[in-house]
Amino acid sequence: MTDTVAGLIQLGLLLAALAVVYKPLGDYLARVFSSEKHLKLEKSLYRLFRVNPDSEQRWPTYAAGVLGFSFVSVVLLYLLQRLQPLLPWDLGRGSVSPGVAFNTAISFVTNTNWQSYVPETTMGHFVQMAGLTVQNFLSAAVGLAVAIAVTRGFVRAKTDRLGNFWVDLTRGTVRVLLPMAFVFALVLVALGVVQSLKAGVAVTNPDGSGSTIALAPAASQEAIKELGTNGGGIFNANSAHPFENPNAWSNLVQLFLILVIPVSLTRAFGTLVGNRRQGYVLLSVMGLLWAASLALIWFSEAYANNPAARAAGASMEGKEQRFGIGSTSLFADTTTGTSTGAVNGAHDSLSGLGGGGPLLNMLYGEISPGGVGTGLYGILVLAIIAMFLAGLMVGRTPEYLGKKLGKREVTCAAIAMLAMPTVVLLGSGIALLLPGTAGALGNGGAHGLSEILYGYASTGNNNGSAFGGLTATSDWFQSSFAVAMAFGRFVPILAVLCLAGSLAAQRKVPETAGTLPTTGPLFATLLTGTVVLVAALTFIPSLALGPIAEALA
């Protein structure tokens, strides 16, 4: 009972904090990306990199900027890891192996932050700060920029311009992510999160032997790790480590950071399109899916149907005592409903249905409420699919926000929607056929299938969390996960930018008596049903053989 009350209090405080900042932050985000003024720092950066901030780009040029910037980021981050012994604060940890360096570079540039290494023994402080933490800012800013470009596609008419990628990237970093991360890094330090450039502190164990407890500049990375929905921990235990997440208050702050920008972006979207009720409808669908998954996970863990859990009164395996079932369930739901991937407990230890909740969040496409930027353009893609289905049912050309949804628009939306299921199902299927896969699993049977399915769902969705039972250090998993991360990130981005360009080129269509209203419960129900239906038709067979079969057993 005490654990339940504590969890409910944390849930209430989280929702209250989000409600307080929703309007001011959402409106601020809208002003940031609609302002015609440039800050002095921004002008200096534009001059340095020879960018004309007043020029705008067509969607292919905008997309080329995203891809080119991401490619250069992968190369630089790879080189930083390989050249680590030549860099300051390397702590004697040596050069990162080529496979791990390649996988990690793609992981952090794609906002996935999948980690197939032990951070406190692999990465020195310089690589952590100048490489991984910098990418935490930039990868989040890329997602934010793409979401704003897609929004402009709905706002603008009879133009082929979507804005300037370099301006959007700079503003997202300088005006949004940097100041917020700075403030909350100080908050986390005050709450007990470690911030140190020492390699570690020597201690004497009870048996008289000596060991070293690793230290790191954790607070500065933790703030942007959660704010940018990144998820890569500076310690191997991630947000279950007491140096990253020492108490209930730091846990609450981290949950707030994960959700605050994706939630507030719905307000920014409504403001930019000139109808805030459009944003409220998207937020209601996101919130409904998030709440339903939270209820499933929390109930499954509190009343787990296995002998050990029944004997103990609940399923506490893999959970930190300082968080309990409520806060662990809340964190698991939030981190997989976004593209964060941070964990404060072992997802591999969740019950059958409890583990199915986080998995289902990712298989929805991480839109409840999704990552920074990715959640907004992800749910807009599904809104277009929903309106297309509605148009088929009534026999008229579908419209959304005053734009006709023809062959080109629906094709782009379908490609964006199908990219993730393609890598998840193909990757999982091939992995199951390989003879060495069984040795990489911590468990057999249904739970082993869940481990593989979860791994590809996490990388294909750019989430980064994992069922800890899967050992993903083989060449196959390193390379296939890297491909899944790149495919799952950039194919949807290309598709939604193409969609935005097509929408911006159209003229606005006035509403008529036959136009389906998109600001009420009817559209919210249609969109929710579309999200659930798409996930069910695509993944029910896999889920039936994995978490559902485990729960029934």
| Whether the predicted pLDDT of 395 surpasses 90 | no
Q: What are φ and ψ of residue 213, in 5° steps?
A: -95, 120
**Which pair of tokens denotes residue 70?**
């991401």
Distance CA 535, CA 538 (A): 5
- Residue entry with tokens 């949807």: 492
pLDDT confidence of residue 265: 98
pLDDT confidence of residue 313: 60
pLDDT confidence of residue 312: 59
Model pTM score: 0.95
Q: What are φ and ψ of residue 214, in 5° steps?
A: -65, 145
| Whether the predicted pLDDT of 536 surpasses 70 | yes
Mean of pLDDT values over 37-46: 95
| Burial of residue 170, with CB atoms counted within 10 A of its CB: 0-12 exposed, 13-18 middle, 19 or more buried | buried
Distance CA 507, CA 299 (A): 49
Lowest mean pLDDT among 21-25, 214-218, 315-319: 315-319
pLDDT confidence of residue 318: 82
Distance CA 454, CA 77 (A): 26
Quick one: pLDDT band at residue 304, thresholds 50, 70, 90? confident
How high is the mean pLDDT of the chain? 92
| Whether the predicted pLDDT of 57 surpasses 90 | yes
Quick one: pLDDT band at residue 353, thresholds 50, 70, 90? confident
Distance set, CA 108 to CA 5, 114, 135, 229, 486 (Å):
37, 8, 6, 11, 11
Quick one: pLDDT band at residue 1, thresholds 50, 70, 90? low
What are 238-243's contacts with CB under 8 Å, separation 24+?
A: 238/342, 238/343, 238/344, 239/331, 239/342, 239/343, 239/344, 240/320, 240/343, 240/344, 240/345, 240/346, 242/322, 243/193, 243/194, 243/215, 243/216, 243/218
| Burial of residue 513, with CB atoms counted within 10 A of its CB: 0-12 exposed, 13-18 middle, 19 or more buried | exposed
Indicate the domain borders of the chain: 377-552
Q: What are φ and ψ of residue 210, in 5° steps?
A: -105, 155
pLDDT confidence of residue 466: 83
Mean of pLDDT values over 286-312: 83
pLDDT confidence of residue 133: 95
Residues 428-477 have pLDDT tens digits of: 999 888 887 877 777 778 888 888 888 999 999 999 888 877 777 788 88
**Which pair of tokens denotes residue 271?**
């403001």
Quick one: pLDDT band at residue 188, thresholds 50, 70, 90? very high
Residues 327-337 have pLDDT tens digits of: 999 999 999 99
| Whether the predicted pLDDT of 42 surpasses 90 | yes
Distance CA 93, CA 85 (A): 7
pLDDT confidence of residue 478: 87
Mean of pLDDT values over 204-222: 90
Quick one: pLDDT band at residue 134, thresholds 50, 70, 90? very high
SS3 label, residue 246 = coil
pLDDT confidence of residue 309: 64
pLDDT confidence of residue 388: 93
Encoded amino acid at 52, one letter: N
* Residues facing 201 on adjacent strands: 213
| Helix 2-34 × helix 248-273 angle, to 10° | 40
Distance CA 442, CA 451 (A): 8
Mean of pLDDT values over 364-388: 95
Mean of pLDDT values over 12-17: 97
Mean of pLDDT values over 293-306: 86
Sequence-separated (6 or more) residues with CB below 8 Å from residue 116: 100, 103, 104, 472, 473, 477, 478, 481
Helices (H), 1-133: 2-34, 40-48, 59-82, 98-109, 119-122, 125-126
| Whether the predicted pLDDT of 226 surpasses 90 | yes
pLDDT confidence of residue 444: 77
Q: Which comes out higher in pLDDT, residue 374 or 305?
A: 374
Work out the number of other CB atoms within 10 angstroms of the CB of residue 277.
12
| Whether the predicted pLDDT of 261 surpasses 90 | yes
**Which pair of tokens denotes residue 397?**
């050309």
pLDDT confidence of residue 371: 94
Residues 60-117 have pLDDT tens digits of: 999 999 999 999 999 999 999 999 999 999 999 999 999 899 999 999 999 999 888 8
| Whether the predicted pLDDT of 415 surpasses 90 | yes
| Whether the predicted pLDDT of 307 surpasses 70 | no
pLDDT confidence of residue 135: 96
pLDDT confidence of residue 477: 87
* Residues facing 400 on adjacent strands: 403
Lowest mean pLDDT among 185-199, 422-436, 486-500: 422-436
Mean of pLDDT values over 121-143: 95
- Residue entry with tokens 């194919």: 491
pLDDT confidence of residue 96: 94
Q: Return the DSSP state at 83.
A: T
| Whether the predicted pLDDT of 35 surpasses 70 | yes
